[in-house]
Copies of this chain bind each other. A is one copy, B any other.
Amino acid sequence: MSDTVVVGLDVGGTSTRAVALALTGERLGTGRAGGGNPTSHGAERAADELRAALRGALSGVDPDRVRAGTIGLAGAGRLLADPAGRAAFDRAWRDAGLRCPYAVHGDALVAYASGTAGPHGTVLIAGTGAIAAQVRDLRLDRVADGHGWLLGDAGSGFWLGREAVRRLLADLDAARAPGPLGRRVLVELLGDDRVAPRPRDTVDALIQAVTRRPPVELARLAPLVVSAAAEAEPVAAALIAEAAVLLADGAARIRPAGDGDPVVLGGGLLTGGTPLAAAVRAELARRWPDAPLRTAGDGAAAAAWLAARDLPEVTDPAALHALLVPPPTRPGGAT
């Protein structure tokens, strides 16, 4: 058993991370490469990033010791349904010298497993978008939201950014002076926080500034809302409270009332001790008082654990989780 190595990969839109772990928990190597989401980047490009990250993680490891591997990525289902994409991933795996099989799981399952070893529970993710998923026997079961910015992603970074602009536009319509959050949105979108003598001119300029970019870039305003809420700016605080309710509503579509299984919070807006994370925790604790609330941590390590737990020599997967998957270390991200 001490000779066995497992490999985990967390393939995201902006980075690909790989880790090689001994079953003792020893980190034998890590690798990092560019974004490798096959849906947005194409399977060949994603496979290239996978190859680069794997080579980094395996640079000091005999690949014959690697007995299992897992790749977590958004759009896993689409990759598995695409023979050419699957073949590109197979080639990258072999190019790294690996001969063991590997599994592909959705990024939501990997985020869940990075926060808990419990086989059943819920993962709630808010970043640019928002999605909740039930996990049964460490497999993704039902999913809520993740419907994209046009139809869903309620409470996400996109939602926060769009609502921040909408509140500003309402102030300008009503000839109210924008508050601190509104002024920050003005600076971000128009370069300064002055309102034109005819406020409608500022309204038109804001609409043009937003509509000349892809809509999803409204999520770039979310950090303004988060930081303003941390300073108790009232509009921002109200938006954060509303987003927390919407995110919990998403989880409630799939999670039974009174459920005591863990909830793992993931995504940039729910890790790192943001005001939204605190508000979501409070809202979840109100609705599911018996549920342990966890924060997502190291996705690559979680993927490696998912690979390891099916090996015959692993008899206590929960104990192995404690060895392989470090708790989140970001400020406020404690479990």
Contact = CB atoms under 8 A, between A and B. Distances in A.
A220 interface: no
A232 to B, nearest CB: 25
B210 A150 contact: yes
Contacts of A150: 162, 210-211, 215
Number of copies: 2
A147 B253 contact: no
Interface in A168-214: 169-170, 173-175, 200, 203, 206-207, 210-211
Nearest to A169: B147
B145 A173 contact: yes
A254 B200 CA distance: 12
Contacts of A148: 207, 211
A95 to B, nearest CB: 32
Contact of A169 (B152, B207, B215): B152
Interface residues of A, number: 27
B207 A147 contact: yes
A166 B143 contact: no
Interface string A226-265: 0000000000000000000000001001100000000000
A68 interface: no
A111 interface: no
B207 A173 contact: no
A174 B132 CA distance: 11
Nearest to A249: B170
Contact of A142 (B152, B173, B210): B173
A222 interface: no
A308 B145 CA distance: 56
A151 B170 contact: no
Contacts of A175: 142
Given A150-B215, A151-B162, A151-B169, 19 more contacts: A142-B173, A142-B175, A143-B173, A144-B173, A145-B169, A147-B166, A147-B169, A147-B203, A147-B207, A148-B207, A150-B210, A150-B211, A151-B207, A151-B210, A152-B166, A152-B169, A170-B253, A173-B254, A174-B253
Q: Shortest 6 CB-CB distances between A and B: which pairs? A: A174-B253, A144-B173, A173-B253, A147-B169, A150-B215, A151-B165
